[in-house]
Structure 1
Amino acid sequence: MTQRIALYPGSFDPMTSGHLDVLRQAMRLFDEVVIAIGVHPGKAPMFSFDERVAFIRDSVADDGGKVRVVSFDGLVIDVAADHGAVALVRGVRDGSDLDYEMQMAGMNGRMAPDIVTLFLPASPEFRPITATLVRQIAAMGGDVAPFVPTVVAQALKAKFA
């Protein structure tokens, strides 16, 4: 039997509870979910690739081997094909996310028609969470624990101590 693999791309800088919510939904649908962390030489992320991988691994330690983490710096469809993914997983929180994601899905679908894009809605309690807001709240000394996995909250607190 062929494994059904999905690719979940993003920066995950840092991993939020919203990312984790979408990942857990994808894990119920696919045999394996490859998290593809975008690494771009011109961008300076808050956390290194290795730190982001550690946050993800810690957050899904109970995944039963269903999650793999890789880096990429090119087209999402190319990394999806390289890892045998049949679908791209994208979380959507609201209409503005959907508008943007529909454009991306359309372009990706034209370039790689065999790879479908699957939109998974964020659960209501996670819809307002963005990595950008989490970083801003942490930088101003706010408590981000309700919005991120424990390991991320600890790392943010240490970074801004």
Structure 2
Amino acid sequence: MKKIALFPGSFDPLTNGHLDTITRGAALFDEVIVGVFVNTSKKSFFSAEEKVQLIETAVAHLTNVRVLVQEHELTADVARSLGAKFLLRGIRSVKDYEYEKDIAQMNRHLNAELETVFLLASPEYNHISSSILKEVIQFGGDVESYLPPVINQAILEKRDAK
């Protein structure tokens, strides 16, 4: 049976930490599907379509990774419809673990066949988040070392267009 993992998130923007998790997941699973989901509690920097295009470029070297957008369904239901038996999640801290544990348990309640697999963040990425980076970007700070080049370029273009 093909082992398919869904890596859901808002990815706004996709960071090198996300890319590290995707790359490591791609080595563990037959297929990793990066699911661009809408987080209703966050204001997006990029549109869903922009995120998909940018992420596809950032993961183009990974032949067993694909990207999709999902705006209106529960993660557990999307996983079921894709045949994904695993959710891939990155954890940077105990705080992340507490948050992710509760979500994993709810997803398991909604889809009993779904296992959440946690990968510990690589040390060089465990202090970054999309939210922090967006804050720095808003005030003109340099975050290039935390982003895939295609994402950094898109941010610079968007910021300069304002």
* 1:21-41 per-position Cα deviation (integer Å, ceiling 9, x unaligned): 111111011011111111368
Q: Provide the secondary structure at the position in 1 that maps to 2:145.
A: coil
Counterpart check, 1:114 vs 2:113 = yes
Aligned to 2:146: 147
Q: Is the 8 A contact 2:14 2:130 kept in 1?
A: yes
More helix by share: 2
| Runs of 4+ deviating beyond 2 Å | 39-44
Point out the more displaced range, 67-76 or 2-11: 67-76
What pairs with 1:66-81 in structure 2 (closer than 5 Å)? 66-72=64-70, 73-81=72-80
What pairs with 1:1-161 in structure 2 (closer than 5 Å)? 2-39=1-38, 44-64=43-63, 66-72=64-70, 73-161=72-160
* 1:110-135 per-position Cα deviation (integer Å, ceiling 9, x unaligned): 22111100011110000011001111
Q: Distance in 2 between matches of 1:41 and 1:137?
A: 21
Q: CA deviation at 1:43?
A: 6.0
Count of aligned positions = 159
Q: Distance in 1 between matches of 2:154 and 2:61?
A: 21
Q: Provide the secondary structure at the position in 2 that maps to 1:35.
A: strand
* 1:29-65 per-position Cα deviation (integer Å, ceiling 9, x unaligned): 101111111136886411011211121111111112x
- What TM-score do you get using the length of structure 2 for normalisation? 0.93
Counterpart amino acid of residue 84 in structure 1: G
Point out the more displaced range, 41-50 or 12-21: 41-50
Unaligned runs of 5+ in 2: none
Computed over aligned residues only, the root mean square deviation of the Cα atoms, in angstroms, reads: 1.5
Q: Provide the secondary structure at the position in 1 that maps to 2:77.
A: helix
Q: Provide the secondary structure at the position in 2 that maps to 1:71.
A: strand
Q: Distance in 1 between matches of 2:100 and 2:40?
A: 24
Q: Provide the secondary structure at the position in 2 that maps to 1:146.
A: helix
- What TM-score do you get using the length of structure 1 for normalisation? 0.93
Counterpart amino acid of residue 151 in structure 1: V
Q: Is the 8 A contact 2:14 2:151 kept in 1?
A: yes
Structure 1 residues 77 and 93, CA gap change in structure 2 (3 angstroms): same
Unaligned runs of 5+ in 1: none
